[in-house]
Amino acid sequence: MSDRTTGRSAGFATRAIHHGYDPTEAEGAVTPPLHLTSTFAFESAEAGGEIFAGERKGNVYSRVTNPTVDLLERRVADLEGAEAALANASGMGSISALMWTLLSPGDEVIADQTLYGCTFAFLNHGLGKFGVKITHVDLTDPANLERAIGDSTRVVFFETPANPNMRLIDIAAISDIARAHGARTVVDNTYATPVLTRPIEHGADFVVHSATKYLGGHGDLLAGMICGPAEDMAAIRMFGLKDMTGSVLAPFNAMLVLRGLKTLELRMARHSESAMSVARALEAHREVEIVHYPGLESFPQHDLAKRQMADFGGMIAFEVKGGVAAGKAVMNRLKLIHRAVSLGDAETLIQHPASMTHSTYTPEERLDHGISDGLVRISVGLETVEDILDDLMQALEAGSAEKAA
Ligand code: 3LM
């Protein structure tokens, strides 16, 4: 999309608001219509047959295409710099539709050590059961991939920043090695969003999202997205989505994600600014053992963060002195911040990965995969930052006071 007056390509926020839609298509409606329909009428029996055979364009059934969902797919593809995208009913729906399509028994997936709990379970307990080999490799050092990758490696999968410990992966370095060995790179971009990082521009083949999080942005839906080459997206639509998972995004939820996208750039700026303040305040607090936030100078991969991310995002992981019990006590003293899983909402959310989002790992696996039991994860929301800080500080101070008494 280009600016109508200058011809230069339109900016991110402009495309997030306008890409792929012209009000003249729909009686001048500035907001795109919601096509709340499961099925579509054919103008003749022959036309229906031709659409089914792929000889003529047209909608058949909303498990395959729907115009509201289609607009969301085109818009997210544009924002990620991808040829095409596919929407699903959840992030897990996206990851599974993609993997069922790319993989066959005997293939290997190399995944980073740290993954969201259900992704870890899907790979190891799901795909693993069907003859796909899952190998976890520490991808923070690309040399480890060079050593591990083999002829049967079909997919290299990672999150950056990773849920929950915030480790970063160098997308360009990993994608280069994967490509040289004929493997496809999949990046879960849920934490960064295309505002902060566009993995395809760094050489990745596919991007997946839990659009439940920042893309939707308001905690009122579940959704997932896959972005990548048009030919692969068509294959995933007609097999992974249509036949294997049936994990279709409802048109109403597509409309809500389209609404969320309009403010994505604005929200990410505010999430990032507030998270930076929270990370600094936590790091300065005597009750806090360690803070993992890519924007901090103390973050071991701060240089990579500056290279690969436009800003540092809204997610922080930290540990309180005194371990699990002390961390939970801090969580229980919070008054404004909600104790809840999920992330990317307007509300600040706090959770304990070991007993919540990452309880799909055994304690031994968590240890192996760099997910410490004392870790507390915070998704910094859009409230007035002083109120977030006051709440966290009173919860930490009460811990100091208890110790002193
Ligand atoms: C969570 N995460 O609280 P859905 N990829 C990443 C994710 O963080 C998630 C998914 C995929 C959380 C959800 S835990 C019970 C709640 C990096 C989800 C999966 O299927 O849309 O939830 O996305 O960390």
Digit-coded pLDDT (tens) for 250-272:
999 999 999 999 999 999 999 99
Ligand 1 centroid distance, CA of 372 (Å):
19
Separation CA 184–CA 176 (nearest Å):
10
Using most ligand atoms within 8 A of CB, pick from 210, 361, 378 the residue to mutate for ligand 1: 210
Separation CA 294–CA 4 (nearest Å):
37
Separation CA 102–CA 100 (nearest Å):
6
pLDDT for 1 beyond 80: no
Percent of the chain past pLDDT 90, that is, above it, reads 96
pLDDT recorded at residue 401: 81
pLDDT recorded at residue 237: 98
Using most ligand atoms within 8 A of CB, pick from 115, 118, 360 the residue to mutate for ligand 1: 118
Q: How confident is the model at residue 2 (pLDDT cuts 50, 70, 90)?
A: low
Separation CA 313–CA 308 (nearest Å):
12
* Angle subtended at Cα 214 by Cα 212 and Cα 215, rounded to the nearest 5 degrees: 75
Catalytic pick among 154, 198, 213, 377: 213
Check residues 9 and 169 and name the one with the higher pLDDT: 169
Ligand 1 centroid distance, CA of 56 (Å):
37
pLDDT for 5 beyond 80: no
Average pLDDT, whole number, for the chain?
97
Catalytic pick among 112, 170, 188, 232: 188
Instruction: Count CB-CB contacts under 10 A for residue 34.
Output: 15
**Ramachandran category for residue 267: left, alpha or beta (phi over 0 → left; psi -120 to 50 → alpha):** alpha
Residue 305 makes CB contacts below 8 A (sequence gap 6+) with 168, 294, 295, 299, 312
Nearest atom in ligand 1 to the alpha carbon of residue 211 is 21
pLDDT recorded at residue 8: 82
Using most ligand atoms within 8 A of CB, pick from 90, 96, 116 the residue to mutate for ligand 1: 116
Residue 386 makes CB contacts below 8 A (sequence gap 6+) with none
Q: Output the CA–CA distances (angstroms, integers) from residue 278 to 274, 283, 316, 401, in the order listed.
A: 6, 8, 9, 21
Q: Which residues line ligand 1 (CB under 6 A)?
A: 90-92, 116, 118-119, 159, 163, 188, 190, 210, 212, 222, 224, 341-343, 357
pLDDT for 95 beyond 60: yes
Nearest atom in ligand 1 to the alpha carbon of residue 93 is 20
Pairing mode, strands 206-210 and 184-188: parallel
116 part of the active site: yes
63 part of the active site: yes
pLDDT recorded at residue 388: 99
Determine which helix (DSSP H) or strand (DSSP E) holds 307, and give its type and residue range: helix 302-308
pLDDT recorded at residue 3: 56
pLDDT recorded at residue 405: 76
Nearest atom in ligand 1 to the alpha carbon of residue 159 is 17
Does the model's pTM come out above 0.95? yes
Contact 212, 90 (CB under 8 A): yes
pLDDT recorded at residue 404: 80
Ligand 1 centroid distance, CA of 281 (Å):
27
Catalytic pick among 75, 112, 116, 345: 116
**Which domains, ranges and CATH numbers included, belong to the chain?**
12-261 (3.40.640.10), 265-404 (3.90.1150.10)
Separation CA 209–CA 225 (nearest Å):
5
pLDDT for 287 beyond 90: yes
> For 214-234, what is each residue's pLDDT tens digit?
999 999 999 999 999 999 999
Nearest atom in ligand 1 to the alpha carbon of residue 164 is 24
pLDDT for 45 beyond 70: yes
213 part of the active site: yes
pLDDT recorded at residue 293: 98
Ligand 1 centroid distance, CA of 331 (Å):
20
